[in-house]
Amino acid sequence: MRISTLFYTIKQGLINIFRNKWFSLASIATIGACLFLFGLFYAIIVNFQNTVRTAQEGISVTVFFDDGISQERIEEIGALIDKRPEVSDKRFISADEAWESFKGDYLEGYEDGFTENPLVNSANFEIYLSDVSMQPALVTYLEGVEGVRRVRRSEITAATLTGVNALVAYISVGIIAILFAVSIFLISNTVTIGIAVRKEEITIMKYIGATDFFVRSPFVIEGMLIGVIGAMIPVGILYVLYNKIIEYIMLKFSILQELLAFLPVDTVFNTLFPVSVAMGVGIGFLGSITTVRKHLRV
């Protein structure tokens, strides 16, 4: 495409937007509303997933050893655990450390009544997983390792967090699909009006030798510009509101500070901004190109 043709196409796309300004505004408002909801939903989801991920990091699988096991065998078991892909970290807790922890939690002020460590066989590995959904596979493996007496795990918690993550993923896909469909429908209507308004002009252009690409391009540019504008506005609004909403939640619901782990605004919008703009452009392109092919018989 020549530079002059490119500038002409962009100019005509802008003219189309202002020529059908009410329909264009309706499309921009609809895309903006859809992408605002998408951005709001995305911010909620990523923060929720971050909270779940933080909770997952606190879930551990505890491995206890056979009575009288040697330190050498414990180290071998530790090496086997390190090789497992689902393991993110592990910590060895000796019998003395286990007893000190138990006294601090349950026997404060009464520990002098014990002359010996009653938890002499309680040395263990605390294992943390990179993906809590892989806990059953790890537990099955560990139960078959020689020298392992018992494996303690949090089955209900792990299953709950895994189920929540799957549910959130399904809901996300459904909402995004609905928002896409509504936005494409509105842009399609706007481009259809533009084609109807310029029908006679388009016919003349064809008579004097204009190519299909030359005739169709302004409408595609129009849809893409509407998509970009419709994406930029809600993302800007969300960027301004994000920290204020978090501050409000933390102020009004201080009890949630121990439960929720909010991500910094830049972390969220480093992904949300390009994704929203790409979605806006994609929605505009799909809405306009499908309409042009359907209604513009040139």
* Whether residues 224 and 287 fall in one domain: yes
User: Is 142 in the same domain as 181?
Assistant: no
Q: Which residue has the higher pLDDT, 141 or 48?
A: 141
Mean pLDDT across the stretch 32-60?
77
Domain boundary, last residue among 153, 174, 190: 153
Flag whether pLDDT at 255 surpasses 70: no
Pair 117, 88 in one domain: yes
- 83 with 231, same domain: the answer is no
- Tell me the average pLDDT across 131-135: 76
Whether 197 and 225 share a structural domain: yes
Q: What is the mean pLDDT of residues 121-135?
A: 79
**Per-residue pLDDT at 235 exceeds 70:** yes
pLDDT of residue 120: 62
Same domain, 87 and 177: no
CATH of the domain at 125: 3.30.70.3040
What H or E segment, with its residue span, contains residue 150? Answer: strand 148-152
The residue out of 121, 153, 185 marking a domain boundary is 153
pLDDT of residue 205: 66
What is the chain's mean pLDDT, rounded? 75
- Same-domain status, 185 and 49: yes
209 in the same domain as 270 = yes
Same domain assignment for residues 96 and 48: no
Greatest Cα pair distance in the chain: 104
Please give the residue range of the domain that contains residue 138. Answer: 60-153
Q: Is the dihedral of CA 79, 85, 86, 87 positive or negative?
A: positive
Same domain membership, residue 243 and residue 113: no
Q: What is the pLDDT of residue 168?
A: 72
More confident residue, 293 or 109: 293
Residue 103 tokens, joined? 């006294």
Residue 192 has pLDDT above 70, yes or no: no
Asked if the model's pLDDT at residue 1 lies above 70, the reply is no
For the cut 70, the answer to whether the pLDDT of residue 93 exceeds it is: yes
- Which tokens sit at 266? 């830049």
Number of domains observed in the structure of the chain = 2
State which of 153, 172, 199 marks the end of a domain. 153
Residues in the chain: 298
> Is 149 within 8 Å of 65 (Cβ atoms)?
yes
Inter-CA distances, 120 with 54, 97, 107, 116, Å: 32, 10, 17, 9
- Domain shared by 31 and 18, yes or no: yes
Q: Are residues 164 and 273 in the same domain?
A: yes
Would you state the pLDDT for residue 282?
A: 81
pLDDT digits (tens, 9 = 90+) for 6-45: 666 767 666 766 776 777 777 788 778 878 888 888 888 8
